[in-house]
Structure 1
Amino acid sequence: MSPLNTDDLYRIFEKLDLNGDGLVSLDELRCLLERIGVHNTGLDELKLLVGQTSLDRLDFLFFYDAILKQNVGDQEGEESNDLESDLAKAFKVYDLNGDGVITCEELQSVLSQLGYWSDYCGWDCGIMIKRYDANSDGVLDFEEFKNMMLITNP
């Protein structure tokens, strides 16, 4: 998937900073990593990786940049079939209850958590889902989600 820009990262930082102290704790960071499919990351391991017990906004940007560079380095010489794996991880983030489909409520909830949704944004999740809901069941399965993320017509 494409790298996030600074504004995206700041919005994610604000959502992670649950107590509003201007810092993301290792526990808050671990929750994010688990949410995006990086499991079994213990606090001790994360502290070694991060080098401190919490991250301010700038440290968070540097952490993201380091992870991004590590992933690019790890993927050199590999085929780009990792796109399917990345999409599967993204799908799991949106499929909040793990039932294999994304509902309008799940889509709105995740977009809200990431700072892309507000009551005033004028978007309609139902319309967004309907556009890619090939079997008209009112939800997105993984194939429909892939079509949406890859911006293909159903």
Structure 2
Amino acid sequence: MSPISRDDLHRIFKNLDRNNSGQVSIEELHHLLSRIGIHASLEELEKLVGRTSLDYLEFLFFYEAAVKARMGDDHDSKDQKENDLVQAFKVFDLNNDGYISSEELQSVLSRLGLWDKRSGRDCKDMIDVYDENSDGMLDFEEFKNMMSAPMASDYSYS
């Protein structure tokens, strides 16, 4: 799990907090986690979080705890990391053709609140950086290289 910038986490939180209450419910968090391939029951998630909703600071603590647990997990072997990348790739490969197009990447980033549609930019430039065979799309190996690059979590999406 690559660290996400605080700005991106704030955008994700605001996107989840649809009624602008300053709280994200367990149901909203569950929906987000399901969309990115992390499956847990509502009951498990509520037990893990210890409450029925999170404010922004609690949301940050939840994210940081999840990252630390993931990085310190004894089961986080090379095979587990590869499996995580496969699952992440599937989230972005919307049409299941084995490639991520700039449109698919932009669509997923937009849904997560990590892309400002008003910028007039697309994800082609980001894909071009990692597109080793210059076909305009990312295959799994290119995606894996993008996700393991040090600048992947620092890339500005907005």
Shorter-chain TM-score bucket reads: 0.7 to 0.9
What CA deviation, in whole Å up to 9, does each residue of 1:44-66 have, x standing for no partner? 12111111111111111121222
Q: How many positions carry a matched residue from both structures?
A: 150
Identify the residue that residue 2 of structure 2 maps to in structure 1.
2
Shift in alpha-carbon separation, 1:130–1:66, aligned structure 2, 3 A: closer
Greater relative contact order, per chain length (Cα 8 Å cut-off, separation 6+):
2
Q: Which runs of 5+ in 1 are unaligned?
A: none
Distance in 2 of aligned mates of 1:144 and 1:71 = 23
Contact persistence 2:13–2:24 (CA under 8 A): yes
Deviation at 1:136, TM superposition (A): 4.2
Contact persistence 2:92–2:108 (CA under 8 A): yes
Identify the residue that residue 129 of structure 1 maps to in structure 2.
127
What CA deviation, in whole Å up to 9, does each residue of 1:35-86 have, x standing for no partner? 22222x111121111111111111111212222232233238x655544233
Give the superposed CA RMSD. Answer: 2.7
For residue 141 of structure 2, the aligned residue among 118, 140, 143 is: 143
Q: What is the SS of the residue equivalent to 1:2? A: coil
TM-score (norm 2): 0.76
Deviation at 1:90, TM superposition (A): 2.3
Structure number, greater radius of gyration: 1
Q: What is the SS of the residue equivalent to 1:34? A: helix
Identify the residue that residue 38 of structure 1 maps to in structure 2.
38
**Which stretch shifts more, 80-89 or 64-73?**
80-89
Shift in alpha-carbon separation, 1:3–1:132, aligned structure 2, 3 A: closer
Identify the residue that residue 86 of structure 1 maps to in structure 2.
84
Q: Which runs of 5+ in 2 are unaligned?
A: 151-158
Distance in 1 of aligned mates of 2:145 and 2:43 = 39
Identify the residue that residue 11 of structure 1 maps to in structure 2.
11
Distance in 1 of aligned mates of 2:122 and 2:41 = 38
For residues 76-115 of structure 1, the aligned pairs below 5 Å read: 79-80=77-78, 82-115=80-113
Identify the residue that residue 73 of structure 1 maps to in structure 2.
72
Distance in 1 of aligned mates of 2:8 and 2:114 = 9
Q: Report the identity percentage.
A: 59
Distance in 2 of aligned mates of 1:7 and 1:48 = 27
Contact persistence 2:98–2:139 (CA under 8 A): yes
